Structure 1
Amino acid sequence: MGSWALAAAVLGFLGVVAHGSEPWLNQTQVYSTNANSGGSNGVFVGLTLIQSAAAKGGLCLDGSLPGYHLHRGFGSGANSWLVNLEGGGWCNDVKSCMFRKNNRRGSSNHMERQLQFTGIMSNRPEENPDFYNWNRVKVRYCDGGSFTGDGADASAGLYFRGERIWQAAMDDLMAQGMRYANQALLSGCSAGGVSTILHCDEFRGLFPSSTKVKCLADAGMFLDTVDVSGQREMRDFFNGIVRLQGSGRSLPRSCTSRMDKTSCFFPQNVVPNIQTPTFILNTAYDVWQLQQSVAPKKADPQGLWRGCRMNHASCNSNQLQFLQGFRNQMLDSVRGFSGSRQNGLFINSCFAHCQSERQDTWYARDSPRLGNKRIAEAVGDWFFDRADAKYTDCAYPCDGTCHHLVFRGDY
């Protein structure tokens, strides 16, 4: 399990926006030939450490203060707030958490002092037509448990305080003016997408009923699925997080009242009971899940899936059939959710991961489309009630608008 945790800890792709790219370990990502407009001129925003967090016990894994990046809104968006929860994998044992506490995933001492805001975070109307002038916040991720932990390991010098970081960040933002919001959107990608789902109704509860509040979860539908060897690697991994970090106390009671705590770390078991309007943005062939839970190296000792993990074009017919089964599970997991009029959905048949914070996939000339809608347009239609926004793609390889991810190297 150690190597799995290490990979999860260092995958920089999971929700980071830094100079418009997401560095995955030693991999280089390239896109299909129809994707050539990934650049952005988004603003660079400084880091603010939450000074009040220490008194509340809201500390990063190493005991340093948590933080966020806030770019103020203006004009018609001056009283609107977009709060984005950073992603970045998890740690499920002491060893992997010790690794994280020495980098930006577990310590504000190692965080970038500025981040570029792109995609849904961009301040440019031509890059982000509906949210560009909102107050936009990136809450940094330094607890390794999707903002759910509430414990510590004194002997290792580790603080599992994700839930307290969440509370301290929200308290600070409310004091910064978010309490006066007339509309608010909570979002996040990957581990941040999980955080968004787990905290969505809690976020709604911060505001009066007159405030329009919704949630957007990008690439957060991690499935409790069987891998190619017949095991459930993801369940074992999530179980380690919940046990180590004491996450069970922070998970939605609408789930834990009827299921075990580990099951309630899986978004598929939480979304059926979310009361707040929510939009799920996901690929049907999530490459992170393909590499780390569907066909991880541990489950593929002979390396039969190596080529398929790195490049969808290298998958043989049997592997594609297995992945079509994964797609069916993804669609089944949101079937009840999508039946609610208040919810939105955009599940495209791409081999990708995280599409709201990348400029080329969020809103660009050749961005992915469903129903002739780019992701930014579908999300905007849903948030502002302009149109019904429920888009489900046909099975691969039917979609020619995808920005597929291809990798060099393996881990």
Structure 2
Amino acid sequence: MEEFIEKEEESLREAFKKIERIRYNNFKRVIEAFRLYKVREMDFYDSTGYGFYDTGRDKLEKIFSLVFGTEDSLVRSQIASGSHAISIALFGILKKGDEILSITGRPYDTIERTIGLKPSPLTLKDFGVSYREVNIFKGDVDFKKVLRDETKVIFIQKSMGYTKERRTLLNREIGELVKKIKSVKDDVIVFVDNCYGEFVEENEPTHFGVDIIAGSLTKNPGGGIAPFGGYIAGRKDLIERCSSLLSSPGIGKEGGAQISFKRNAFLGLFLSPHIVGEALKGITLSSKVLEDTGFRVFPKWNEERGDIILGIEFGEREKLMKFAQLVQNYSPIDSDAILEPMREDFFNEEIVMAAGTFTQGSSIELSFDAPLSPPYIGYLQGGLTYEHIKYALINILKEI
């Protein structure tokens, strides 16, 4: 098996060179931001109480803004997840009578509860915000017909999510959508769920006219170092609204003590382009190897990537469950855990998750999750080191 993998690696030399080129260019953008804002060791120190005058927190947010090409950003330990960051952004931007229009179909399961598509104690629907959806993957959308006076936010999910009906969007494709949308209604706010997409390409959605993005630090931009936290980046007026919701009106970004967070957030961002590159090389190898051994995968190894996720179609529940268990077995943490399907209120169906990770739920680390329904597609993502992904892949193939 090792010899077979080595031959596959040889065939991927050019693909790996492209990933390394993107990684280096993203790293340059990050380190130049660090140098511009003169990060000091004292910027890592904790703040207390109200968190006023936290210069390290302010520098971190300025660096995120520069790296993502935005006017402002909110990078906080108090943001619990990517879904929380998205929820803050939507609740902060929208008011009674406004409409959200999702153009990438139904959003991820947890966001359905935020919008009010599924029962939840608090939803945007409760505040008089309406929702519609169209799906650009099912044919051309005529924005002159679908945009209304009350349409305040266009919602775009960059990553594929739990469906084959939606593929991951490239940032330049998002940029083309922004042009079409703004030509019809220039005051509409374009929001992108950027989870899993940061540093995969040489740019971000906000470099192409997107007004605001959100994501998690336990995914790409935390570099496997940040143990919690999330970010929102975009127009200054929108970030002011989001920060007023996270803390309170009148305090906004000025408050919020950061404890045991800033050093990890700075270091995670610094390492993020490299770690994402490692994940991309490993996922590219996985795509090539699994396809050559009979699996249906998407995207294929030689297609442009917009995120760190590989879809794998198993066709049978038992085959999917075995693959998930093997990912768990060849992980550094909880390698002896026995996986069981679970059903939680925030997911629409029974799912399985394999994540022997140093940080709970970290999907920049090698992990695998899947809804347990036909056609039994699982999603392999992340990997802090190429060596771990290669090691796991070799051993999984030996067993299946």
Shorter-chain TM band: under 0.3
Task: Provide the TM-score with structure 1 as the length reference.
Answer: 0.26
If you compute each CA radius of gyration, which structure gives the higher value, 1 or 2? Answer: 2
Which protein has the bigger helix share?
2
